Amino acid sequence: MTAAKFTPRVFSGIQPSGGLTLGNYLGAIKRFVDVQNDGLKGQRFETIYCMVDMHAITATLPDPATLQKNTRELCAGFIASGIDPEKSILFNQSRVPEHAQLAWIFNCVARMGWMQRMTQWKDKAGKNAENASLGLFAYPALMAADILIYHATHVPVGEDQKQHIELTRDIAAKFNHDYGVDFFPMTEPVIEGAATRVMSFRDGTKKMSKSDPSDASRINMTDDADTIAKKIRKAKTDPEPLPETLEGLKDRPEARNLVNIYAALSDKTAEEAMAEVAGQQFGQFKPMLADLAAAKLAPISSEMARLMQEPGEIDAILARGAERAREITAPILDETYRIVGLVR
Ligand code: AQP
């Protein structure tokens, strides 16, 4: 089944598993804002953005007050970055029970072997898989439900989530095949832009992550200008000046990462950014990048701080978003139950 018969609809989510990083911003939120305002490739979309708080209890069980604070802070980050709760549906996952209800059905559709192949499962469970939670193992089935409970046709994500979107398509295809229906769409991942994979400042082969134990490995959206400058100054690089072309960055992951960040923050392609900074020493390039990052992030972090003073306002936005979300999810779950033979 092609996505053409479905309403053009974008869904994406972020876990409130800690403060937002520059990776989350450039790989996800900034793109969400672009799709909300400009659509994709000339097409307009309904946009649905979610704080996936049920995913945030899969790796560890966070302190309840911290989880709620992280959810509000993430919501503040979305709004401060330009997500308009009137234009987009903005809510947290646990307010919309149809996500978990569909996830249970998908747990029964997905195969153990599919889940075992997920690289994020392997990375996060590590050598201690016996002790990891069942929720962490089933994470991709809940993610598939997050997407398919909206019949979402497109999902903007960072590179790291590509395999989970492929699994979402496998689950949709198996459900459609096993029940002889054309009910769930084949959702398309949208992985575009110069910074689909922002890397750690400590190790250019690892992605920048909010749960990395080293704070120096990432820029947090709440970091002030001095902290941003210090982290960029100390970011691991090599002694060579920047090359003349992108080709010259091939075996220089740390340098490539900084050029990609520069490109994404200045809304340029990687090629355009490279042409601008070609031949520069890091002593010249890093302060320029730090100034740009501070200028772009300062208005977002100050608006986040202002919104965090108004938790009631944030909760009202999330509650209203959840109501709008349920107008879409309730009929889709009703029909899924009918197809499966469940009664609600
Ligand atoms: N380093 C990154 N570069 C580009 N995109 C990224 N994303 C995350 N890190 C990068 C994108 O952000 C979205 C939300 O991700 P998530 O929070 O749901 O989970 P994650 O990918 O596991 O992010 P983190 O920061 O690494 O969280 P933890 O540390 O809790 O696991 C996704 O679209 C993702 O691609």
What tens digit of pLDDT does each residue of 32-65 get? 999 999 999 899 999 999 999 999 999 999 999 9
Q: How far is the CA of 124 from the centre of ligand 1 (A)?
A: 13
Using CA atoms, how far residue 82 sits from 32, 38, 78, in Å, is 9, 12, 7
SS3 153: coil
For residue range 267-309, list pLDDT tens digits in order. Answer: 999 999 999 999 999 999 999 999 999 999 999 999 999 999 9
Please give the Cα distance from 245 to 273 (Å, whole number). 10
Of 137, 124, 300, 289, the closest CA to residue 212 belongs to 124
The per-residue pLDDT for 77 is 97
Q: Is the pLDDT of residue 2 over 60?
A: no
For the segment 85-89, the average pLDDT, to the nearest whole number, is 98
The per-residue pLDDT for 4 is 61
SS3 249: helix
Atom of ligand 1 nearest to the CA of 20: 25
What residues does ligand 1 touch, defined as CB less than 6 Å away? 14-15, 17, 21, 23-24, 27-28, 157-158, 160-161, 196-198, 207-211
The per-residue pLDDT for 87 is 98
Q: In the 8-state DSSP scheme, what is residue 99?
A: H
The number of CA neighbours under 13 Å toward the Cβ of 105 is 27
The number of CA neighbours under 13 Å toward the Cβ of 160 is 19
Question: Residue 21: phi, psi to the nearest 5?
Answer: -110, 170
Please give the Cα distance from 305 to 317 (Å, whole number). 17
Q: Is the pLDDT of residue 160 over 80?
A: yes
C-beta separation of 49 from 83 below 8 A: yes
Please give the Cα distance from 15 to 20 (Å, whole number). 9
Atom of ligand 1 nearest to the CA of 124: 31
Q: Which of 15, 147, 192, 260 to mutate to test the pocket of ligand 1 (most atoms within 8 A of CB)?
A: 15
For the segment 124-138, the average pLDDT, to the nearest whole number, is 94
For the segment 94-102, the average pLDDT, to the nearest whole number, is 98
Would you name the residues annotated as active-site residues?
124, 207, 210
The per-residue pLDDT for 1 is 47
Q: How far is the CA of 63 from the centre of ligand 1 (A)?
A: 21
* Orientation of helix 30-38 relative to helix 64-81, angle to 10°: 50
pTM summary value = 0.94
Higher pLDDT, 282 or 211: 282
